[in-house]
């Protein structure tokens, strides 16, 4: 059985959480490949090929924009494997005998369309709806996403497969030097997100006006929507440092040293930074978005956005609460691993590959 993975998101200008998902899952699938199975990574045509340890990566004969345009119209190159897994809604047309698997990370184009561009809403809905109608299997990261999509689309075969925590986020040996170089304060709140409207950064900065004395460190690249964290902070009179995209070794230091991670998103499909913070025992404050509550499993403090001020006060002043979250986080996070996700997917791929022979 030969499985093709579409890894284009790894090379996107703003890879975000789906880029990390694509990379980490590909590495885990390579490590857990059963006997007789092989893995082929595929991207659009880029000058420099993607390199992933243990993963053979090939380039399709179209550059990114042309590939997206072709697949939007149900045309373009196919992936010559027994099973193809599109790790985002960008997927090729279904062509037999290849089995098609598509990961849909969230239901935001339906539940919160105002947080995306009009083009983004239209494109994602079209690709998700085609996947729901033609793919042999949809993969989603949480039951919350499956439930939300089911309110808008007829769904057939859906598999819930969570994420994991990258080993690249282990605390590096030079953590002290990195903390000094980053000029980290003794106490700080951390948020890790693409800078765009649905991440709730405006609401977080507004709430921080009522919780003075602790700065916010923001990690992430600008997305769409012209979200200027610096401008919002200046207007609110709040101390915020925007560090942009960081290497995992620096991010690991921030996750370990933060007083708390704050995830104020209006909507999420999983909440990978939350899981990563929980894994190292950093207290987490989240919005009450359904997927975040599901993944946290009681190991984070979840509040409605309207209660963000009170949540911030609790997580910064309640020592007993922080200690409870420090203990609960690693225990909960241990139930999510990339290797476990990969093993579930290999079983699903094998079932799809064998389905035709069983029916024959």
* The pLDDT value given to residue 48: 86
Q: Is the pLDDT reported for residue 55 higher than 70?
A: yes
Asked if 18 and 34 count as a contact pair (C-beta separation under 8 A), the reply is no
Q: Is the peptide bond before 79 cis (omega within 30 degrees of 0)?
A: no
| Helix (H/G/I), strand (E/B), else coil: 350 | helix
This prediction's pTM: 0.93
Angle at 209 between CA 188 and CA 313, to 5 degrees: 60
Tens digit of pLDDT for each residue in 294-317? 999 999 999 999 999 999 999 999
Which of these, 306, 297, 249, 296, lies nearest to 273 by C-alpha position? 296
Q: Where residue 14 falls among pLDDT bands split at 50, 70, 90?
A: confident
Average pLDDT, the chain: 92
Alpha helices in 290-337 (DSSP H): 290-296, 308-317, 319-333
- d(Cα 154, Cα 36) in Å, to the nearest integer? 35
Domains in the chain, CATH or no CATH each: 2-164+337-359 (3.40.50.2000), 167-333 (3.40.50.2000)
DSSP label of 94: P
* The pLDDT value given to residue 224: 60
| Helix (H/G/I), strand (E/B), else coil: 65 | helix
Q: Where residue 15 falls among pLDDT bands split at 50, 70, 90?
A: confident
Which of these, 212, 359, 143, 187, lies nearest to 282 by C-alpha position? 187
């Amino acid at each position: 059985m030969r499985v093709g993975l579409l890894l284009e998101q790894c090379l996107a200008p703003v890879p975000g959480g789906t880029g990390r998902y694509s990379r980490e899952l590909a590495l885990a699938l390579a490590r857990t490949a059963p006997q007789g199975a092989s893995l082929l990574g595929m991207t659009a045509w880029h000058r420099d090929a993607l390199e992933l340890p243990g993963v053979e990566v090939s380039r399709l004969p179209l550059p990114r924009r042309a590939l997206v345009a072709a697949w939007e119209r149900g045309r373009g190159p196919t992936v010559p494997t027994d099973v193809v897994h599109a790790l985002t809604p960008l997927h090729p047309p279904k062509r037999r005998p290849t089995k098609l698997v598509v990961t849909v990370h969230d239901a935001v184009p339906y539940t919160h369309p105002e947080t995306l561009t009009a083009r983004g809403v239209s494109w994602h809905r079209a690709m998700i709806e085609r996947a729901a109608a033609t793919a042999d299997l949809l993969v989603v990261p949480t039951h919350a996403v499956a439930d939300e999509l089911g309110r808008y689309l007829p769904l057939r075969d859906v598999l819930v497969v969570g994420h994991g925590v990258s080993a690249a986020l282990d605390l590096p040996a030079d953590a002290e030097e990195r903390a000094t170089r980053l000029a980290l304060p003794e106490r700080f709140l951390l948020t890790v997100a693409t800078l765009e409207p649905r991440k709730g950064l405006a609401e977080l900065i507004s709430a921080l006006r009522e919780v003075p004395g602790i700065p916010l460190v923001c990690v992430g690249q600008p997305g769409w929507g012209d979200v200027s964290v610096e401008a919002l902070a200046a207007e609110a009179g709040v101390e915020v440092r925007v560090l942009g995209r960081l290497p995992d070794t620096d991010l690991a230091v921030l996750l370990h040293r933060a007083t708390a991670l704050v995830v104020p998103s209006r909507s999420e499909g999983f909440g990978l930074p939350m899981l990563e913070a929980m894994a190292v025992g950093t207290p987490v404050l989240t919005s009450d978005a359904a997927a975040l509550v599901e993944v946290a499993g009681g190991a984070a403090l979840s509040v409605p956005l309207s209660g963000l001020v009170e949540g911030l006060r609790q997580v910064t002043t309640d020592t007993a609460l922080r200690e409870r979250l420090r203990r609960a986080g690693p225990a909960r996070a241990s139930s999510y691993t990339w290797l476990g996700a990969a093993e579930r997917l290999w079983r699903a791929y094998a079932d799809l590959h064998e389905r035709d022979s069983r029916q024959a």
